[in-house]
Chains A and B, each alone.
Chain A
Amino acid sequence: MTKTVRDNLVAYAFLAPFLAVFLTFLFYPIFYSLYLSFHRVTDLYDVFGKMRFVGLDNFVQLIHDGQLWWSLLMTLYYAALVIPLGIAVSLALALLLNNRLPFRSLFRSAYFMPYVLDMFVVGVVWVLIYSPHFGVLNRLLLLFDIDVFLEKGFLGHPLSAMPAVAVANVLKSSGFGMVLYLAAMANISPSLYEAAAMDGADGWQRFRAITFPLLKPVTLFMVIIGVIAALNAFAEIYAMTEGGPNVEVRGRALGATWVTGYYLFRTFYVSLKLGYAAAISYVLLILTLIISVVNMRLFRTERA
């Protein structure tokens, strides 16, 4: 055996366990999913044995599927709530922490900690906080004579359901953005602020003219991962609203938090439409890839 053949064999032996799992569970599924999306389950007791080839039927059906279009709209709405709110909270926390203070790292840990916890479980806790009649948030608002959400709770009222889910998610996950912003702030040269102070700029002006523009790459990154996270949103919806509460749109009952990730889960796990769910997965994949490409373009022009 020549030396290079042996070297290659040794290297691939080290790679083997990783590659075996990767190829089976991360690579092959892309194509298997496409295969499934051309099929329809006909027998729930023999899902794989009796699958029927239906060609592009699932995709044609997708185009006429009001639930899907509505879910994409709700995903957009969810993203439009979570992303700006998440950026604002992350930035506010980072600005508070961007000072040399005793106990700084203690506060940093406290803000980051919720990010490592399971969204589903955190959602279950928020259900209690948001609950109707006796929920702590409703009781607090009663002190200010606000009783709009008393009857149905924040998650049961079509107007407040999505914002309530978004707030729960933002408070859980802004520690992540905060750390990114803090790292970027540490890289801003103090001389810029000194020059601005000499020009007589106050705190808000320094923030607007120096800090915020220099943090733009982080903000852009937060927008991109925010859109992708919204497309994958599931646990918070499953924990808090299960897609509801229903609203009537042109005579049809549609869920006020019916996001695409949750619709995919329901199609697959509750309705057991494997083929159709695989087709929905492809919609998610294509949307994500479009966003990633746009993202790369944006970052490239940013650096040029």
Chain B
Amino acid sequence: MISQNTNRRPQRPLPPQLQATLLYLGLILGAIVVLFPFFWMLTTALKQPGQAYSLDLLPAEPTLDNFGRILRDYGFARYFMNSIIVATSAAFLATLFAALAAYAFAKKDFLLKNQLFLFLLASLMIPGMMYMVPQFAIISRLGLMNTRTAMVLPHLANVFGLFLMKQFMETIPGSLIDSSRIDGASELQVFRSIIVPLSLPIIATLFLLTFQFHWGNFLWQLIVTNKESLYTVPVGLAMFRDAHEELVTLKMAGAAISIIPIGVLFFFTQRLFIEGMTRGAVKG
């Protein structure tokens, strides 16, 4: 294809400065388009309620009242705590379960090991929506409706996390484990004093990814609770939106309360996030 075009006169390349300027213009335009919704959310959340639809890029009389009101008068302080509790405990347990299982897969021999691993991996092909009805029915029959346990429990077996951890732990030298065993360490001691410290980067990654997943696990949290005291931030926002369509500035403050923690978390740990989220895809 290239050779067909050799008769065309090669174009003179643009001067490097102009090229760089054009690239930066493109990059900035891209950033404006991608980030505009979040900018607009924040700026609206800082406007006076009467100014909700003003086109001012920055609020004429900025106020934090919207945040105060939605946190205090509309229960978002409690929803925020609920989200923290649910996401933290789920992230802790899911990471722990995945680490324990990954250790077995990476460093131990046992009956049906490879078959079991393939069987677990096969479940990754099943679409998430498929689980809504049966998981709801199981939780309901276990009498767990309207509990935090219900929000967390079904998602504690993270197969993708297990896969990430197994790959990582396979790089830990077996000699470290053997010598620790010779020193008389028990199975759990080996796990605690060797495997966990050496796997901290992947543990941190999986903790962050599961925390992020549970922070935004809106659909499931919505269907297993109808008790206001258990609402998480997105569920609270859904209910608030239905009840108070007109309170736009408050709604945007509520959305900001849901988005900012993950945004900040991402800002400080972006490398872990980006690598963790794309690793499964890249190897495929």
Answer whether A and B are interacting partners.
yes
Q: Which of A14, A109, A289 has the most CB of B within 10 A?
A: A14
- Which A residue sits closest to B216, measured CB to CB? A118
Contacting residues, chain B, for A269 (C-beta < 8 A): 222-223
**At the interface with chain A, which of B22-30, B65-73, B198-206?**
B22-30
Q: Which residues of A in the span 9-36 have a Cβ within 8 Å of any Cβ on B?
A: 10-15, 17-19, 21-22, 24-30, 32-33, 36
Known: A32-B138, A180-B278, A202-B11. A128 touches B157 (CB 8 A): no
- Decide yes or no whether A121 CB sits under 8 A from chain B: yes
- Decide yes or no whether B252 CB sits under 8 A from chain A: yes
Known: A97-B27, A119-B216, A285-B126. A114 touches B35 (CB 8 A): yes
User: How far is B159's CA from A27's CA once the two chains are assembled, in angstroms?
Assistant: 12
User: How far is B44's CA from A184's CA once the two chains are assembled, in angstroms?
Assistant: 39
- 18 other A-B residue contacts (CB within 8 Å) besides A7-B110, A205-B2: A10-B108, A22-B123, A26-B131, A48-B137, A97-B27, A101-B20, A112-B274, A116-B277, A118-B234, A120-B234, A124-B251, A139-B55, A200-B8, A225-B281, A265-B132, A278-B134, A281-B129, A285-B126
CB–CB A92/B30 < 8 A: yes
- Decide yes or no whether A141 CB sits under 8 A from chain B: no
**At the interface with chain B, which of A78-86, A227-235, A249-257?**
A227-235
Number of interface residues of A (CB under 8 A): 96
- Decide yes or no whether B162 CB sits under 8 A from chain A: yes
Q: Per-residue CB proximity of A76-103 to B under 8 Å, as 1/0?
A: 0000000000000000110011010101
- Decide yes or no whether B153 CB sits under 8 A from chain A: yes
Contacting residues, chain B, for A228 (C-beta < 8 A): 127
- A13, A18, A120, A277: the one within 8 Å of B97 (CB): A18
- Decide yes or no whether B80 CB sits under 8 A from chain A: no
- Decide yes or no whether A125 CB sits under 8 A from chain B: yes
Q: Which residues of B in the span 88-141 have a Cβ within 8 Å of any Cβ on A?
A: 96-98, 100-101, 103-104, 108-111, 113, 116, 120, 123, 125-138, 140-141
Contacting residues, chain B, for A285 (C-beta < 8 A): 126-127, 130
CB–CB B23/A96 < 8 A: yes
Q: Per-residue CB proximity of B172-212 to A under 8 Å, as 1/0?
A: 00000000000000010001000000000000000000001
CB–CB B252/A26 < 8 A: no
Q: How large is the interface on B (under 10, 10 to 19, 20 to 34, 35 or more residues)?
A: 35 or more
Q: Which residues of A in the span 217-274 have a Cβ within 8 Å of any Cβ on B?
A: 221, 225, 228, 231-232, 234-235, 238, 261, 264-265, 268-269, 274
CB–CB B216/A117 < 8 A: yes
User: How far is B140's CA from A109's CA once the two chains are assembled, in angstroms?
Assistant: 41
User: How far is B101's CA from A175's CA once the two chains are assembled, in angstroms?
Assistant: 31
Known: A36-B137, A116-B212. A171 touches B100 (CB 8 A): no
Main secondary structure of the interface of B (DSSP, over half): helix
- Which A residue sits closest to B29, measured CB to CB? A96
Main secondary structure of the interface of A (DSSP, over half): helix
Chain A nearest CB: distance from B70 CB in Å? 13
User: How far is B126's CA from A231's CA once the two chains are assembled, in angstroms?
Assistant: 11
B interface, CB within 8 angstroms of A: 1-3, 5-6, 8-11, 20, 23-24, 26-27, 30-31, 33-38, 40-41, 44, 53, 55, 96-98, 100-101, 103-104, 108-111, 113, 116, 120, 123, 125-138, 140-141, 153-157, 159, 162, 187, 191, 212, 215-216, 218-219, 222-223, 233-234, 237-238, 241, 248, 251-252, 255, 258-259, 262-263, 266-267, 270, 273-274, 277-278, 281-282, 284
CB–CB A281/B130 < 8 A: yes
CB–CB A116/B138 < 8 A: no
User: How far is B35's CA from A205's CA once the two chains are assembled, in angstroms?
Assistant: 31
Contacting residues, chain B, for A111 (C-beta < 8 A): 30-31, 34
- Decide yes or no whether A294 CB sits under 8 A from chain B: no
Instruction: List 4 A-B pairs, minimum CB-CB distance, nearest first.
Output: A118-B216, A29-B134, A134-B53, A11-B110
**30 A-B pairs, CB-CB below 8 angstroms?**
A7-B109, A14-B187, A17-B97, A19-B157, A21-B97, A22-B159, A33-B133, A48-B141, A92-B30, A101-B27, A109-B266, A110-B35, A114-B34, A114-B37, A116-B262, A125-B37, A125-B255, A129-B40, A174-B34, A179-B274, A180-B278, A199-B6, A202-B10, A221-B281, A221-B284, A234-B129, A234-B219, A277-B133, A285-B126, A289-B125
User: How far is B108's CA from A114's CA once the two chains are assembled, in angstroms?
Assistant: 40
Chain A nearest CB: distance from B83 CB in Å? 10
User: How far is B40's CA from A288's CA once the two chains are assembled, in angstroms?
Assistant: 36
CB–CB B137/A129 < 8 A: no
CB–CB A115/B38 < 8 A: no
CB–CB B134/A32 < 8 A: yes
CB–CB A118/B215 < 8 A: yes
Q: Per-residue CB proximity of A266-304 to B under 8 Å, as 1/0?
A: 001100001001100110110011001000000000000
- Which A residue sits closest to B127, measured CB to CB? A288
CB–CB A21/B277 < 8 A: no
User: How far is B156's CA from A110's CA once the two chains are assembled, in angstroms?
Assistant: 30
- A18, A119, A128, A208: the one within 8 Å of B248 (CB): A128
- B2, B37, B159, B267: the one within 8 Å of A122 (CB): B37
Q: Which of B35, B37, B277 has the most CB of A within 10 A?
A: B37
- Decide yes or no whether A183 CB sits under 8 A from chain B: yes
Contacting residues, chain A, for B101 (C-beta < 8 A): 14-15, 17-19
